[in-house]
Amino acid sequence: MATLAPPAAVCKRPPVDPPPARYRRRASKARKSSRSASPPRKSLIPSVKEQLEEKYRKDAEFWATLSKERQELERWTEERRRNREAAEEYARLCRVYVDSVDGLAQDFKEYEESIARTAKLTEKVEEMNKETEEMNKKTKQLNAKTAQQNEATAQRIKAWGQYLDAWGQANRDHKESNDRCARLNHENSQRLDQRRQELDEEKRITHEYTTQVYNLGHRVNAYCEGVRQIRRDVRKLGDDLRRRHS
C-alpha cells in the first residue's frame, strides 16, 4: 500500500513577521498580524473511523445472513426428525396389523373347521329335521359373520396399501430433504471458508493502514513541533529587533 503524503496545507511555510517599523503604532500592527491564528488542520482519523464502521456494518449484515441460513437448516433438521418419528409410528402400526392378520388366519382356520363340522351335520339332515333347521340358522349367521370379516379384511388390506404408498412417499421426501441439507451444508462450508480468508486479508490491510496512520501522525506532530519552534525563533528575533530600535 502506498504511503499517504501530508496535506498541502500542512506543507506551506508559516508566514514570517514583517520587520519592526520605526514608529510604535506600526510596530503594534505588525505584532498583531504575527499573532493571528493559523487555520486548523483537517484530521484523517474520522475518515478512517468511518471506513472501519462501514466495514463492521457489512460484516454484521453478513453474519446476520449466515444466522438466517443456520435457522433454515435447523428447521429442515427438525422436519427430518418428525418424519423419522412418523415412520417409526407407522412401523409400529404395521406390526399391530400383522398381529391382527395372524388372528384373522386363526379365525379362518376355525371357520374351516366349523364348515367341516357343518358338513358332517348336514349328512344327518334327513334324520334330524329340527337339528338341521337350527344348524342352517347357525350356518347363515356364521356366513354373515364371515362376510363381515371378509369385508373388514379387504378394508384393512386397502388401508395397508395406502399406508405403504404413504410410507414410500415419506421416504422419498425424506431423501430429498437429506439431499437439500447436505447441499446447503456444503455451500455454507465453502462460503464460510471464503469469508474467513477475506476477513484475514481485511485484518492484514487494516493493520497496515493503522500502522501508516500512526506513522503519519508522528510525522505530522514532528512537523508541527518544528513549525512552532520556527515561530518561537521568529518571535524572539522580532523582540530582539524591537529592543534594539527602542
73 or 118, greater pLDDT: 73
Angle between helices 24-34 and 129-245 (to 10 degrees): 160
User: Does position 169 have pLDDT exceeding 70, yes or no?
Assistant: yes
The candidate with the shortest Cα–Cα distance to 164, out of 81, 148, 80, 172, is 172
Q: In angstroms, rounded to a whole number, what is the distance separating the alpha carbons of residues 234 and 228?
A: 10
Report the number of secondary-structure helices (H) and strands (E) in the chain: 4, 0
With 0.85 as the threshold, say if the pTM is over it: no
The pLDDT of residue 21: 47
At 135-161, the pLDDT tens digits run: 788 888 888 998 899 999 999 998 988
- Computed over its alpha carbons, how large is the radius of gyration of the chain? 50
DSSP 1: -
The pLDDT of residue 23: 45
At 172-195, the pLDDT tens digits run: 998 898 998 999 999 998 998 998
User: Which residues touch 162 (CB under 8 Å, ≥6 apart)?
Assistant: none
User: Does position 243 have pLDDT exceeding 50, yes or no?
Assistant: yes
C-alpha cell at 218: 508522528
At 216-229, the pLDDT tens digits run: 888 888 888 888 88
Per the prediction, the chain carries an average pLDDT of 78
At 53-111, the pLDDT tens digits run: 888 888 888 888 888 888 988 888 898 888 888 888 888 888 888 877 777 778 778 87
Question: Cell match 354373515: residue?
Answer: 144
User: Does position 22 have pLDDT exceeding 60, yes or no?
Assistant: no
DSSP 19: P
